Chains A and B, each alone.
Chain A
């Protein structure tokens, strides 16, 4: 599709969450051509999964959408969704990057996002974006409001691909002839002078935290699951209800889930757990909310005020050890309090704040790029500026470098761009 002839003025940004978006827009302003590579069919990272962000409870999608629109409408930014980096060669000022672009099977120019193609599709499956709390079809948009507003076909589910069936139901439903089964995956070669890694993070797999009782089926939820329940564009359109349909009359949020496994503090969970108090009390004012924490980590000039506003709405309990087991229809919590006593509590709903871990595929990417992963798997060298990767021409931004909040991610993206522009102006000498 696009094989730029020379690397100059071209930059690759890997990952189109808030950090990637910030980096792209700033680079475009500087006059660079930006290839913004994103492996998901939509972009916006984790931020667009939240309804509100701390500490001012601003609407998350309202905050992100204008930035996303700027990216979509910027001529200098080429957003490549469903794309992944496969190979990186070269050095600062002159990288050759192989990107594998999966076919969407929908013509983005012709499609107007009317969603008419979903209904007829015979294949239904749990929607990963919705943390499996809702369903989607094989041809799908991850959520209402997803950008780009163009569906894609999941070749691992669509019967055309899995069973070689000649199913054309979605194509027939489309008034704009936008569905094109003839599209093919392609490999493109990009020549860029710099690379910014903004691949974000994931949550630790909570089912591996045996003592916390998460199975993906009961009344123990992860933070992202609660986000989708509360989200107005989510599978329940914002209604908080248990998997069995009941409305919880009591809930508990458990901080530091998986912290012993990872050995570090994930920086944002105390704040978003307090945000969850706001979520729960907003939809279910009569629900009792408990919050189990080890240390209240709320650094910065704005966060304590939010904590102080929330603390009277929740029963804050300091704990030392905690385990969870089902107790009839309830969730049974056994814990050792901060004071050393052994206690028990039953709640209808338990929400875990799981540790933040490097994004899936971080190790492979590090190998491809030839950059270090710290002991925890996040990118970056600890020698100087946090945006440095340790390799010339390659910079790191956002949670790819370590747990942090959105504001810090965006700042770090700016730092990555600052480093790149400065180095580029000096011909990358000294990198």
Chain B
């Protein structure tokens, strides 16, 4: 088919028209192969300008359009819509940025003109090699799998479930509630932990659209956004399979036990972890091993921090909460917190700290703490910042260990082919912009599985995950794929799986029957890693083919 390219250079007011010689640019592209019309225009992005382009496309029977103007970030989508309106495939379009990249870079008019010519010629050279692309629509299942029945999973499920969206809530323990059901109280307000759990659990249990599967674990997750195949299994070996459109990973956290031994845990009597004390408190037996009430308790912060190399966010306040339990329940007991830096961020935490001090708990800033069995009770040897060593006798030691992701996080990550971060947590897609997404579309994170945090932070994440799913996976709505994705030529592929290894989005599958790799267009983000890694060119990006890039470069370098 004959290629008929139209090139239009926008004046963009004085921005471009005064910065370079537009007429020369127009002239420089007029003679190029395939260019049937090249012209300038005052303001192409305005309504009149867009209409002008539509008219021009029809008048000259154009098959390709090139616009030289501002940044594609500003108006690429505008002009692609123009193409669609005029009846040509929107991907037969290329924009040359001669404003941000030329006019706004150099005050030298000659240099700017020279460079603009190269940019526009490059766009023409490239667009000749564009192929029409199309998006696809795929059906999607709006149901959701929530893994983990703690407050994160419960709150997410409660928001998600509805008559048109089923939620499967899978919890490996026999009971729901996760870690929070083990806390009598929560900081900073000392409100009831079980009440918080109950609040969400009641919503979940009353909701017919939520299938609760306790004592059950997830065995496999296959597929992609809108089309996940899930297999679960309960303690009796009975399995179930079902389809969902999204997965929320809310596995929770656990205490890091690795460093506990350094503090006498397991060797010296009456050295406990925070979770153990929480359990003792719930059972009403805040007592020493011999049954007596402790007269003095030392709470040691930052246990294991040298190994974990991060601050676990919650331990300072958990320590204060335990101090409050002890003071409230035992009255006459000396409780001392041995800390390095007090971490009490947010509008209510510091007040909680002050109230705890008012209740009688003491705080001592130390460096390293050693726990010794003196034969007659426990002695804590604390190094201070100035180098002195304090000694303190206590009856009971409470250790505040680092917080890690729950036990099964590794297995889950492997099921999803997602990497774990350096500290063993699952990785969010973007620390600031996408804190609950993962790089795999349709899989979300909430709570301890993605990092240490408070109940409040966890609830923000779990409800945000629900929000994303409610917004993006709408019952009845089809998913539209991105058109500018990669593809793999089956006849050229040798099945070496190099592309699969470098794909960050799990968007490439290996077909063992054919011995080749295939791109999943729903998951592909068009990053091009596979295309650059493939030695034979079997994998290529539909809108960034080698040919297109060569042509563009050839014109730039001329």
- Indicate whether A and B are direct neighbours in the complex (CB within 8 Å): yes
- Binary contact track A101-137/B, C-beta < 8 Å → 1, others 0: 0000000011010101000000000000000000000
Q: Which one of A27, A110, A264, A408 contacts B435 once the chains associate, using CB atoms below 8 Å?
A: A408
Q: Are A378 and B309 in contact (CB under 8 A)?
A: no
Q: Are A425 and B432 in contact (CB under 8 A)?
A: no
Stretch at the interface among B289-297, B341-349, B514-522, B540-548: B341-349
Q: Are B350 and A26 in contact (CB under 8 A)?
A: no
A408 and B460 in contact, given A301-B421, A301-B425 (Cβ under 8 angstroms): yes
Q: Are B452 and A382 in contact (CB under 8 A)?
A: no
Q: Which one of A302, A303, A411 contacts B461 once the chains associate, using CB atoms below 8 Å?
A: A411
Q: In the complex, what's the smallest C-beta–C-beta distance from A291 to chain B, in angstroms?
A: 13
Q: Are A27 and B471 in contact (CB under 8 A)?
A: yes
Which chain A residues (373-431) contact chain B, with CB distance < 8 Å?
Answer: 374-376, 378, 382, 384-387, 402-408, 410-422, 425-426
Q: Are A63 and B433 in contact (CB under 8 A)?
A: yes
Q: Which one of B13, B309, B464 contacts A414 once the chains associate, using CB atoms below 8 Å?
A: B464
Stretch at the interface among B23-31, B154-162, B371-379: B154-162
Q: Are A26 and B467 in contact (CB under 8 A)?
A: yes
A407 and B435 in contact, given A302-B310, A387-B463, A419-B463 (Cβ under 8 angstroms): yes
Q: Report A-chain residues with C-beta under 8 Å of the C-beta of B459.
A: 384-387, 415
A403 and B345 in contact, given A53-B432, A264-B351, A415-B464 (Cβ under 8 angstroms): yes
Q: Are A176 and B435 in contact (CB under 8 A)?
A: no
Q: In the complex, what's the smallest C-beta–C-beta distance from B197 to chain A, in angstroms?
A: 11
Q: Report A-chain residues with C-beta under 8 Å of the C-beta of B125.
A: none
Q: Report B-chain residues with C-beta under 8 Å of the C-beta of A419.
A: 159, 463, 467
A67 and B433 in contact, given A73-B77, A421-B470 (Cβ under 8 angstroms): yes
Q: Are B346 and A404 in contact (CB under 8 A)?
A: yes
Given A69-B74, A414-B461, 18 more pairs with CB closer than 8 A: A30-B471, A56-B431, A67-B433, A175-B13, A176-B43, A264-B350, A265-B349, A299-B453, A301-B425, A302-B451, A304-B311, A305-B310, A405-B432, A407-B435, A408-B460, A415-B461, A417-B470, A418-B159
Q: Report A-chain residues with C-beta under 8 Å of the C-beta of B418.
A: none
Q: Which one of A30, A302, A385, A408 contacts B155 once the chains associate, using CB atoms below 8 Å?
A: A385
If over half of B's interface residues share one DSSP class (helix, strand or loop), that class is named, otherwise mixed; here it is mixed
- Binary contact track B413-441/A, C-beta < 8 Å → 1, others 0: 00000000101010010011111100000
B312 lies within 8 A of chain A by Cβ: yes
Q: Report A-chain residues with C-beta under 8 Å of the C-beta of B349.
A: 264-265
Q: Report A-chain residues with C-beta under 8 Å of the C-beta of B470.
A: 30, 417-418, 421-422, 425
Which chain B residues (365-413) contact chain A, with CB distance < 8 Å?
Answer: 365, 385-386
Q: Which residue of A lies closest to B47 (CB)?
A: A109
Q: Which one of A175, A263, A384, A405 contacts B14 once the chains associate, using CB atoms below 8 Å?
A: A175
B465 lies within 8 A of chain A by Cβ: yes
Q: Are B313 and A422 in contact (CB under 8 A)?
A: no
Q: Which A residues contact B (CB, under 8 angstroms)?
A: 18, 22, 26-27, 29-31, 53, 55-56, 58, 63, 65-67, 69, 73, 109-110, 112, 114, 116, 175-176, 259, 263-268, 295-305, 308, 318, 338-339, 374-376, 378, 382, 384-387, 402-408, 410-422, 425-426
Q: In the complex, what's the smallest C-beta–C-beta distance from A195 to chain B, in angstroms?
A: 15
CA distance A243 to B348 in the complex (A): 37
Q: Are A30 and B474 in contact (CB under 8 A)?
A: yes
Q: Report B-chain residues with C-beta under 8 Å of the C-beta of A112.
A: 12-13, 15, 43
Q: Are A263 and B464 in contact (CB under 8 A)?
A: no
Q: Which one of B310, B314, B365, B385 contacts A304 once the chains associate, using CB atoms below 8 Å?
A: B310
CA distance A26 to B472 in the complex (A): 8
CA distance A21 to B155 in the complex (A): 24
Q: Are B386 and A422 in contact (CB under 8 A)?
A: no
Q: Are A414 and B436 in contact (CB under 8 A)?
A: yes
Q: Report A-chain residues with C-beta under 8 Å of the C-beta of B453.
A: 299-300
Q: Are B199 and A384 in contact (CB under 8 A)?
A: yes
22 interchain pairs (CB within 8 A)?
Answer: A26-B467, A30-B470, A112-B13, A114-B12, A114-B14, A263-B351, A263-B354, A299-B314, A300-B311, A300-B452, A300-B453, A301-B310, A318-B385, A376-B347, A376-B348, A403-B347, A410-B433, A416-B463, A418-B463, A418-B467, A419-B463, A422-B162
Q: Are B15 and A66 in contact (CB under 8 A)?
A: no
Which of B155, B162, B386, B459 neighbours the largest number of chain A CB atoms within 10 Å of its CB? B459
Q: Report A-chain residues with C-beta under 8 Å of the C-beta of B428.
A: 407
Q: Which residue of B lies closest to A65 (CB)?
A: B73
Q: Report A-chain residues with C-beta under 8 Å of the C-beta of B162.
A: 422, 425-426
Q: Are A297 and B345 in contact (CB under 8 A)?
A: yes
B457 lies within 8 A of chain A by Cβ: yes
Q: Report B-chain residues with C-beta under 8 Å of the C-beta of A31.
A: 474
Q: In the complex, what's the smallest C-beta–C-beta distance from B545 to chain A, in angstroms?
A: 25
B513 lies within 8 A of chain A by Cβ: no
Q: Which one of B73, B158, B313, B385 contacts A69 once the chains associate, using CB atoms below 8 Å?
A: B73
Q: Are B432 and A116 in contact (CB under 8 A)?
A: no
Q: Report A-chain residues with C-beta under 8 Å of the C-beta of B12.
A: 112, 114
Q: Which one of B196, B341, B347 contacts A297 once the chains associate, using CB atoms below 8 Å?
A: B341
Q: Which one of A66, A339, A376 contacts B73 once the chains associate, using CB atoms below 8 Å?
A: A66
Q: Interface size of B by Cβ–Cβ distance < 8 Å? A: 69
Q: Are B460 and A338 in contact (CB under 8 A)?
A: no
Nearest 6 CB-CB pairings of A with B: A414-B464, A418-B467, A415-B463, A267-B345, A299-B313, A30-B471
Q: Which residue of B lies closest to A32 (CB)?
A: B471
CA distance A67 to B73 in the complex (A): 11
CA distance A318 to B342 in the complex (A): 12
CA distance A411 to B451 in the complex (A): 13
Q: Are B350 and A263 in contact (CB under 8 A)?
A: yes
B1 lies within 8 A of chain A by Cβ: no
B52 lies within 8 A of chain A by Cβ: no
CA distance A385 to B461 in the complex (A): 10
Q: Which residue of A lies closest to B74 (CB)?
A: A69
Q: Which residue of A lies closest to B384 (CB)?
A: A339
Q: Which one of A339, A412, A426 contacts B460 once the chains associate, using CB atoms below 8 Å?
A: A412
Q: In the complex, what's the smallest C-beta–C-beta distance from A109 to chain B, in angstroms?
A: 7
Q: Are A298 and B471 in contact (CB under 8 A)?
A: no
Q: Which residue of A lies closest to B10 (CB)?
A: A112
Q: In the complex, what's the smallest C-beta–C-beta distance from B47 to chain A, in angstroms?
A: 8
Q: Are B346 and A264 in contact (CB under 8 A)?
A: yes
CA distance A422 to B386 in the complex (A): 55
B46 lies within 8 A of chain A by Cβ: yes
A422 and B160 in contact, given A264-B346, A339-B386, A417-B471 (Cβ under 8 angstroms): yes
Q: Report A-chain residues with C-beta under 8 Å of the C-beta of B464.
A: 410-415, 417-418
Q: Which residue of A lies closest to B315 (CB)?
A: A299
Q: Which one of A26, A66, A69, A375 contacts B468 once the chains associate, using CB atoms below 8 Å?
A: A26
Q: Which residue of A lies closest to B444 (CB)?
A: A414
Which of A18, A110, A263 neighbours the largest number of chain B CB atoms within 10 Å of its CB? A263
Q: Are A265 and B425 in contact (CB under 8 A)?
A: no
CA distance A16 to B224 in the complex (A): 33
Q: Report A-chain residues with C-beta under 8 Å of the C-beta of B434.
A: 410
CA distance A412 to B435 in the complex (A): 10
CA distance A112 to B11 in the complex (A): 11
Q: In the complex, what's the smallest C-beta–C-beta distance from B422 to chain A, in angstroms?
A: 8
Q: Report A-chain residues with C-beta under 8 Å of the C-beta of B351.
A: 263-264, 375
Q: Which residue of B lies closest to A409 (CB)?
A: B432
CA distance A364 to B314 in the complex (A): 34
Q: Report A-chain residues with C-beta under 8 Å of the C-beta of B43.
A: 112, 176
Q: Which residue of B lies closest to A114 (CB)?
A: B13
A407 and B432 in contact, given A112-B43, A339-B385, A386-B460 (Cβ under 8 angstroms): yes
CA distance A56 to B459 in the complex (A): 25
Q: Are B343 and A299 in contact (CB under 8 A)?
A: yes
A299 and B468 in contact, given A109-B46, A410-B433, A411-B435 (Cβ under 8 angstroms): no
Q: Are A114 and B15 in contact (CB under 8 A)?
A: yes
Q: Report B-chain residues with C-beta under 8 Å of the C-beta of A30.
A: 470-472, 474
Q: Which residue of B lies closest to A307 (CB)?
A: B311
Q: Report B-chain residues with C-beta under 8 Å of the C-beta of A263.
A: 350-351, 354
Q: Are B199 and A265 in contact (CB under 8 A)?
A: no
Q: Report A-chain residues with C-beta under 8 Å of the C-beta of B309.
A: 304-305, 308
Q: In the complex, what's the smallest C-beta–C-beta distance from A390 to chain B, in angstroms?
A: 14
B235 lies within 8 A of chain A by Cβ: no
